[in-house]
Structure 1
Amino acid sequence: MPDRSPNRRHILKVIAGFGALAPLPLWANPMPTVEEVAFDPDIPVLGNPDGDVTVVEFTDYQCPYCKLSFLQLSDVMKEDTGIRLVLRDWPIFGEVSRNAALLTLASNSQGRYADAVHTLMTTRDRLTFRSTANLLGEAGVDIDIARGDLEARQDMLVGLLSRTEAQATAFQLQGTPGFLIGKALYKRGMTADDFRKAIAKARA
């Protein structure tokens, strides 16, 4: 059955309805460090690898608010080339989400990580094991190679997901999405204007 996720305009209204952002300084959460979250060597980087502001998104490929926030941030990144983006996969919606996260990470060995992320973040279809493989194939990922790479690097990739889950728990995130921008933590979805303000604050 197709995913009847709320449309973009409706979700924007829902996000806006939460009120003003309330960033939480990291000193309120002694662990993990910004370095551990934003500069994990096992996670591919999107945007500008040398950007002056890092945005970390705790995400699940089946979370509609994660997808909308990602699209809003993508719009901001077209204006601002100083953004370094790190996606921390936190597959809270079960094994299908976990499979999507692992295959997407594995696609990096083929140079297709960015394409895979964009495809899964923009699809409106409900993910299954089969549809995930089909979508990634359409994005240029050789699924057989990705599965082989996943098997070869399983300990590392599964360990990466475990680290992300531990970080989300330490930050007391209640679900996805969550964002670490500079040194401030945002426990909610964000609009383009929200991102602009948070990024400006991080630079200041």
Structure 2
Amino acid sequence: MIGPSMKSLKIAALISAFALPAVASDLDNLTSAERASFREEVRAYLLDNPEVLLEAMQVLRDRDQQAESQADAQILSQNAEEIFNDGISYVGGNPDGDITIVEFLDYRCGYCRKAHSDMAKLLETDGNIRWVVKELPILGEDSDASSRLAIATLRHYGDEAYQTLHDVLMTFQGPVNEQTMPMLASEAGIDFEPLKPLLDSAEVSDHIARVRELSHKLKVSGTPSFVIEDTILRGYLPLRDMQNIVAEVRG
């Protein structure tokens, strides 16, 4: 627990940083008695006006958010080609859409499954969105197996089969392994046999590795996460929020 003297120091520093810049530059020149008097005055002022602390904290939050947004914009600019046009990721929706939404997902993630239905509605109701899927299996062996099956399908059968299998994997409740993969492929209308040699291939492993490396650069550590134009959104967003963001970008 912070004692009274340390708390007063922190408050004095906070107030001087946000409200009394002239005083802040002279604090080092104060005598001990003057410094103690100053702290008492600040303490008395804060007790009478506690809303000042809330205002100061809001300024701190705004500054942190602005700094984070600027850092994200720089990261996105440096990695734009890998994010939006890597040549390996699935591209759905309208490939010529005026807005691109990039989604990092894991098939075993509950919020990714929730976002899946929201994204389907968004793409259905807005025909001008380009959707890029980044396979980011982070929740264990079933996650990795699911992504390998999906990527192998994309490589061998193409976009349409991938989209169908993607939907199957997002709704499947059981384990994903050698025993269930043939059934999942069959449900998606594809033959599993040609996919078997691809599951552990260098091509599929490299695909996952590239996405994982990109996620590290973007500081994306959880799923779902989204990149919408020049903004990184870490975490699940309800459909209405996604629609609002798309409208803001267009506006």
TM interval, short-chain normalised: 0.7 to 0.9
On the 8 A contact 1:54/1:86 being kept in 2, the answer is yes
Q: Is it true that 1:59 corresponds to 2:108 in the alignment?
A: no
- Pairing partner for 1:180 from 216, 227, 241: 227
Per-residue CA deviations over 1:89-109 (Å, capped at 9, x if unaligned) read 111012221111111111122
Structure 2 spans left out of the alignment, 5+ residues: 1-64
On the 8 A contact 2:105/2:112 being kept in 1, the answer is yes
Counterpart of 1:183, as a letter, is D
On the 8 A contact 2:106/2:138 being kept in 1, the answer is yes
Q: Which piece of structure 1 moves more, 27-36 or 125-134?
A: 27-36
Counterpart of 2:197, as a letter, is G
In the other structure, the counterpart of 2:140 is 94
- What do you get for the CA RMSD once the two structures are aligned? 2.0
Supply the distance in 2 between the matched residues of 1:74 and 1:101 (Cα, whole angstroms): 19
Would you tell me which structure has more helix in proportion to its own residues?
2
Q: Is it true that 1:43 corresponds to 2:89 in the alignment?
A: yes
Length, aligned pairs only = 180
Q: Is it true that 1:193 corresponds to 2:240 in the alignment?
A: yes
- Pairing partner for 1:158 from 202, 205, 225: 205
Task: Give the TM-score, by structure 1 length.
Answer: 0.80
Supply the distance in 2 between the matched residues of 1:69 and 1:76 (Cα, whole angstroms): 10
Counterpart of 2:152, as a letter, is A
State the shift of 1:65 in Å: 0.2
In the other structure, the counterpart of 1:141 is 190
| SS, match of residue 45 in structure 1 | strand
Identity %: 28
Structure 1 spans left out of the alignment, 5+ residues: 1-21
Per-residue CA deviations over 1:127-183 (Å, capped at 9, x if unaligned) read 3313344223211121111123445xx222211211111111122223111000111
On the 8 A contact 2:145/2:176 being kept in 1, the answer is no
Change (3 A) 1:203 1:117: same
Supply the distance in 2 between the matched residues of 1:48 and 1:116 (Cα, whole angstroms): 19
Task: Give the TM-score, by structure 2 length.
Answer: 0.66
- Pairing partner for 1:126 from 145, 153, 174: 174
